[in-house]
Structure 1
């Protein structure tokens, strides 16, 4: 099997999948929350997709699901210690975005023409 020329490829697949960064960003910055709270913070994600993302993140060890056998039952999600190690990466990307998104928009406009 040939060696992957991009050493971050596997990480990109795990962390930067569709809606995954949105979920991780909210949980990392806002802390532990219930599904409905997360859904309110991310209204552009359907409940089905949000559930899928949370399950995948839990499987990957980046999010922890806590079940509380109360009446009614309560479930909360939060980033794990491993998930929180991504915080500096997200902060770096946010800073890069602040500095360069205007340049990307200008380049796209030039490329696409009038």
Structure 2
């Protein structure tokens, strides 16, 4: 084996270990905290994992979760097309309500 191949294998092992540590830390955060603060670290995979664990979404979090713009979310809220809760001026969405809304509004192939 060449030195390049050995370094490549070591790098892959390190990456796998780092990914496992990240998944473990995400699992710990899930049970230790129920906060809804954004992480802002820029890692889209990590952000998606955090969104999957959240119970309540803000408008921007829901737009990331659904893959649509915030303008689209505000329009659906204004037209009562999506389940939401208004707390004073803040609009929040429960993940379970959104998931059931998705399942009831998704056309199934015949």
TM-score (norm 2): 0.32
Question: Larger Cα Rg: Structure 1 or Structure 2?
Answer: 2
TM-score (norm 1): 0.31
The answer to which structure, 1 or 2, has the higher relative contact order (CA under 8 A, 6+ apart) is: 1
